[in-house]
Amino acid sequence: MTHESQSVAETESIAADLARTLAPGSAIALHGNLGAGKTQFVRGLLMGLGGNPRTVSSPTYVLLNIYETGRMPLFHLDAYRIGGADDFEAIGFSELFEQGGVVVVEWAQRVAALMPAETIHVYLTPVGENVREIRIERVGA
């Protein structure tokens, strides 16, 4: 499914709609260059789950942020600066899927081997100054 977003608010709305369909243990892989809107997408996911979007920040330097929501926790990871999949395993990445929440990974291609077979891939591509193409693919479902 492909969407066109003309604003941050539209990107968040698309993500919030996706969040309403998620079940505990869901995995989302975010793909896109720097500035593509990955963290904005996570804000929308958090809104859709009933959490406070103001609490969202990029986990580039801390690897993992955990957000509580009205439905289930959201685990937000960033693989941009990691040395390899071992860094994710060291923080208990695989155990996150057993915590009854949603696991979202920015720069997921860097840890592709660790992602579950049933992963939702979200591709954010700037196609204009304020326009993003957002493609959502459900793999293995």
Q: What is the pLDDT of residues 96-136, one digit of tens each?
A: 888 889 999 988 888 888 888 899 999 999 888 889 999 99
Decide: pTM greater than 0.95: no
Token pair listed for 108: 């997921």
Q: What is the residue whose two structure tokens read 């793909």?
A: 31
Separation CA 35–CA 132 (nearest Å): 11
| Per-residue pLDDT band at 63 (split at 50, 70, 90) | confident
**Level-2 CATH architecture, domain 21-82+104-127:** 3-Layer(aba) Sandwich (3.40)
CB atoms within 10 A of CB 102: 30
Burial class (CB in 10 A: 0-12, 13-18, 19+), 44: buried
Domain ranges of the chain: 21-82+104-127
